[in-house]
Structure 1
Amino acid sequence: MSHVNVLDPGASPLDYYGFELRRLREAAGLTQRQLGDILNYTGSLVGQIETARKVPTPEFSERLDAALGTGGLFSRLVDLVLRSQLPTWFREVAELQSRATEIYAFEAHVVPGLLQTQEYARAVLGVLDKADLDDRTAVRLDRQRILQKQEPPLYWVVLSEAALYLKVGKPETMRGQLAHLLSFEDNPRINIQVLPFSAGAHAGLTGSFDVYRFAGDPAIVYTEGYGSGHPTANPHTVRNCSLRYDHLQAAALSIRDSAELFRRVMEGRYGEHRESANGHPVA
């Protein structure tokens, strides 16, 4: 008789999800493989999620609700599961982002997480730590759903030009990331400006930061260190960073000129090149 891993549904949202998945699958008289065939996933993946060894995705959850007729149960649960997988120190920040009506971000080195592609996010998260990389990438990408809400926040990003030239992953990863940034060019609620090298010394030299604004609560400034986050509603800090952000926006390229720079860098630095017979690139 095969050993069945029995989950404690109260141990975590992930355990509860797996417990309910197994319970409802068995009630429907389906094996893991049969359910996997219906969902167009492998039976092995179903088993891994049932035993809390794999994190479910929103797409998996939507298909599961449709297959088992659960009235959206798993689509609701997956939000709790994914949030529970965030680093403990970042959970408060994710909650702030989800409640904010306006988010202003300055990024000095990399594309911010809310705008990262899967390949770019995977390359960033995989530096020095490849453990559970698929799950950690899925959790990061899930945060981007706040930009797809019926009433999404206004999201304004000032991105250092250095982030365009810092090769994260393969050239095709950077091409895909820059193309993704270009896809927001005509979106009035997601605005991206590049702070060019020609701006010289600027108001963001002390590092990256976010400013979150809310409908009925004080604004919050968020900065980040190694494995720690620092949100604060201190009025002096909020005023200081808001002033810094105004100066960064003024020094940055316009939204249109920033998009043109994305195109130039994408084609000039990360464009595909023909190769000669010996495998070397040719002009």
Structure 2
Amino acid sequence: MVNRKELDADQSPQAAYGAYLRRMRDERGWTQDDLSMRTGYSSAHISAVETGRRPPTPRFSASTDKAFGTGDKFERQARAVRNTAILEGFPEYVGYEGRAVEIRLYEIGIIPGLLQTPEYARVLADSSVRRGSITSEQADERVELLMKRQSALERIDPPMVFLTMDESCIRRTVGGAAVMEAQLAQLVEFAARPNTLLQVAPFDIGERRPLNLPVYLLTLPDRSVTCYAESQSQGHLDRESVSVLPMLTAYHQLQAEALSQTASVAMIEQARKGIS
């Protein structure tokens, strides 16, 4: 088998689902085309589910259970995937993020994950546990994934990272003074790197703010652009240029309204003094 991707079932519930799907297919000697004919899904779709690039839907799982004669095993595994701490669409986004040559981030209310200190990230995860929205195990999974993602910024040929944050990100205290001061200090260090641009979108731009939800835009090595956006309970990855390019335009419009990097760093330093 040429270029067959190795699967790590321990990586996440979605990865475990993909590994189980491949194992069941291999045991029967079926190719992805064979399973495609039995489920009505394309071989490319099956490949994406097996390798964790696409989450399994209830309909897909019902089709695979029927094809394999496994009762509801795939449907139950799919529920485990949906109940994980990671939003739908995000695992696929992370795969693209690790290959991106340019990363554009916009966040509201909290520091973007790629720039969070471990202490800041842990406070947010533990808060979700106390609210009952995730389990302790899921909190650990969330923080572990975050640290793995941040390693992309330290690779030999790191991506260019454009970070535009709503002013609320630096004004909202998370974890107390010590945690927040260290987090703001890390932002200042980030802004000093040669491959980064940090801007704060101040409150006073008002209605001129073109984006109202967090947005992540990735430029891949072939110069195609992928967009990921999320709400409180759902994430969505989009690779279609007809919908991605307007988001890229809105991001550039946001940058035009935001403070310069020099003024942004000055605002962050002022915020640091206010909490020390």
- TM interval, shorter chain, is 0.5 to 0.7
- The one of 219, 229, 232 equivalent to 1:213 is 219
Compute the displacement of 1:198 (Å).
Answer: 1.8
Q: Quick check: 2:105–2:216 contact (8 Å CA) kept in 1?
A: yes
Q: Report the CA distance shift for 1:192/1:12 in structure 2 as closer, same or farther (over 3 A).
A: same
1:33-52 map, 5 Å: none
Q: Structure 1, residues 75-120: CA drift from partner, whole Å, max 9, x if none?
A: xxxxxxxxxx973732111101001111111112211000000111
Q: Quick check: 2:164–2:201 contact (8 Å CA) kept in 1?
A: yes
Q: Which has the higher contact order (CA 8 A, sep 6+)?
A: 2
- More displaced 10-residue stretch of structure 1: 160-169 or 226-235: 226-235
Q: Report the CA distance shift for 1:88/1:210 in structure 2 as closer, same or farther (over 3 A).
A: closer
1:121 paired residue number? 121
Matches of 1:234 and 1:168, distance apart in 2: 36
Q: Quick check: 1:106–1:204 contact (8 Å CA) kept in 2?
A: no
Compute the displacement of 1:151 (Å).
Answer: 0.8
TM-score, scaled relative to structure 2:
0.64
Matches of 2:252 and 2:87, distance apart in 1: 31
TM-score, scaled relative to structure 1:
0.63
1:12 paired residue number? 9
Compute the displacement of 1:182 (Å).
Answer: 0.6
Q: Structure 1, residues 212-267: CA drift from partner, whole Å, max 9, x if none?
A: 11121521111012343211122222221111111111111111111111110011
Give, as a single letter, the amino acid of the residue that structure 1 aligns with 2:196.
Answer: I
Q: Report the CA distance shift for 1:11/1:242 in structure 2 as closer, same or farther (over 3 A).
A: closer
- More displaced 10-residue stretch of structure 1: 135-144 or 119-128: 135-144
Equivalent pairs, count: 192
1:87 paired residue number? 86
- More displaced 10-residue stretch of structure 1: 172-181 or 237-246: 237-246
Q: Quick check: 2:211–2:251 contact (8 Å CA) kept in 1?
A: no
Give, as a single letter, the amino acid of the residue that structure 2 aligns with 1:87.
Answer: I
Give, as a single letter, the amino acid of the residue that structure 2 aligns with 1:167.
Answer: T
Matches of 1:220 and 1:14, distance apart in 2: 23
Structure whose alpha-carbon radius of gyration is higher: 1
Matches of 1:214 and 1:248, distance apart in 2: 22
Give, as a single letter, the amino acid of the residue that structure 2 aligns with 1:12.
Answer: A
Q: Structure 1, residues 131-185: CA drift from partner, whole Å, max 9, x if none?
A: 1344532331221000001111111010000111111111111101000101123
Q: Report the CA distance shift for 1:216/1:266 in structure 2 as closer, same or farther (over 3 A).
A: same
Q: Quick check: 2:87–2:234 contact (8 Å CA) kept in 1?
A: no
Q: Structure 1, residues 49-88: CA drift from partner, whole Å, max 9, x if none?
A: xxxxxxxxxxxxxxxxxxxxxxxxxxxxxxxxxxxx9737
Q: Quick check: 2:229–2:235 contact (8 Å CA) kept in 1?
A: yes
- The one of 164, 167, 170 equivalent to 1:164 is 170
Q: Quick check: 1:192–1:258 contact (8 Å CA) kept in 2?
A: yes
Matches of 2:232 and 2:96, distance apart in 1: 20
2:136 paired residue number? 131
Matches of 1:135 and 1:108, distance apart in 2: 23
Compute the RMSD of aligned alpha carbons: 2.2
- More displaced 10-residue stretch of structure 1: 207-216 or 197-206: 197-206
2:106 paired residue number? 106
- Structure 2 counterpart SS, 1:179: helix
